[in-house]
Amino acid sequence: MEESMPVLRLEHSANGLAGCQRAACKREGVKILKGELRVGKYQLFEQENKYITLWRHWKCTPPTQIKGLKTIAGDVPENAPGFVQLSPESQEQVRATFEAERVTDMGFTDVRPDLVTASKSFGDITEATGYKVELASTGRAGCRSPICSEKILKGELRLGIATSWDGEHDTWSYKHWKCISPYDLNSVKENIENDKLFGLFDLKDEYTAVIQESIKQGKVLEPPAPPPPTPKAKKPRKRKFSGTDDFVAKDDENDNISLKSPPKKKRTRAKKVVDSPLKPELSGPPEEEHIIAKALVREEEEDPAVKRIMALAEGMRAEAARVRNQDT
């Protein structure tokens, strides 16, 4: 974190772009008007490992931030960061708020576009702990230069400047190479001479040449433009299938994929089967049936069990005939 950057500060909004960070305003997307009195909190943005300023309307400032301003100012309103640039009306509001330790007039906005000045640089980073040159791996980081408000595109040459924010950990700020100041260029030169500039020999020759030539000429030269972004290929939409939906049938010969409906099964009435212990059901032309019947009779005659049954039946018929003859 930069020592010259206060944690909390007061100002008339430099533009109408910043949104208020109070939950209610944030949900509605409420912006802070240009020239409106606001409070900024400088804090670490962990996703990009850098510090950013988050803003609130004056009326949306919580008591905790008011107490923080008092601590920074040593309970003296005039010592609060940004106080001297405020309008007389806003200064009176700050004094009353310091005394009450909370915002006393919730309707006070003091929109003063006439007091807005262009964003000022907080100076070059003179307490840097390290420098590196690299091509931006993403397009999310913003350029730290006061003359630039653009993002550093993926693949652009940039200068990274490390600063210690707690005595133990470093945070990195970035600038387009084309946006670095003479102070930055001189610092890069000193780090190269002391073999402390990270990333120089990881770059392609065309980028290394720009850096070395910039140092030689004493002015920053324009690096090669980054390659155009590669469009992402669209993934084919996957069709969802269910039990009754179309299914995919693959042709083994040409590997063509086609959608076909599953064949519907025909409902047929089951044939009634009548079991016969002696003879199977015969079907076919009469001549064939006669031949089959003879074959079955022949099989029955050759079976010993059948022969015994037929002999017993023959004996019973003979006995019955004898009895009938006696009766007559």
Task: Read off the pTM.
Answer: 0.40
pLDDT digits (tens, 9 = 90+) for 265-276: 666 665 554 444
Stretch 290-312: mean pLDDT, rounded? 64
Q: What is the pLDDT of residue 6?
A: 66
Judge whether 31 and 20 are in contact, CB under 8 Å: yes
Residue predicted with more confidence, 114 or 69:
69
β-sheet with 170-176: strand ranges across: 170-176, 157-164, 130-135, 197-198
pLDDT at residue 327 tops 80: no
Other CB atoms closer than 10 Å to residue 158's CB: what's the count? 24
Stretch 32-60: mean pLDDT, rounded? 85
| Nearest in space to 227 (alpha carbons), one of 153, 132, 175 | 153
Q: What is the pLDDT of residue 293?
A: 57
Residues 24-62 as b or e (16 or more Cβ within 10 Å = b) = ebeeeeebbbbbbbbbbbbeeeeeeebbeeebbbbbbbe
pLDDT at residue 217 tops 60: yes
Q: What is the pLDDT of residue 119?
A: 40
DSSP, collapsed to helix, strand or coil, labels residue 66 as: helix
Stretch 117-138: mean pLDDT, rounded? 74
DSSP, collapsed to helix, strand or coil, labels residue 154 as: coil
- Asked which of 101-105, 120-124, 169-173, 305-309 is least confident by mean pLDDT, the reply is 120-124
Pairing of strands 37-45, 157-164: unpaired
pLDDT at residue 23 tops 90: yes
- Torsion angle of alpha carbons 239, 245, 246, 248, nearest 10°? 60
Q: What is the pLDDT of residue 168?
A: 62
pLDDT at residue 288 tops 60: no
Q: What is the pLDDT of residue 222?
A: 93
In DSSP terms, 39 is beta-bridged to 10, 56
Q: Which residues are CB-contacts of 80 (< 8 A; sequence separation ≥ 6)?
A: 9, 10, 69, 72, 73, 94, 98
pLDDT at residue 256 tops 60: no
Q: What is the pLDDT of residue 126?
A: 74
Q: What is the pLDDT of residue 251?
A: 44
Q: Is the alpha carbon torsion for 301, 304, 305, 308 positive or negative?
A: positive
pLDDT digits (tens, 9 = 90+) for 166-215: 566 677 889 999 999 888 999 999 999 999 999 999 999 999 999 999 99
pLDDT at residue 92 tops 80: yes
pLDDT at residue 8 tops 70: yes
Q: What is the pLDDT of residue 192?
A: 93
Stretch 60-81: mean pLDDT, rounded? 91
Q: What is the pLDDT of residue 255?
A: 44
- Torsion angle of alpha carbons 58, 63, 65, 66, nearest 10°? 70
CA separation for the pair 16, 324 (Å, rounded): 133
Q: What is the pLDDT of residue 178?
A: 93
Stretch 37-50: mean pLDDT, rounded? 80
Angle at 218 between CA 215 and CA 223, to 5 degrees: 60
CA separation for the pair 199, 201 (Å, rounded): 6
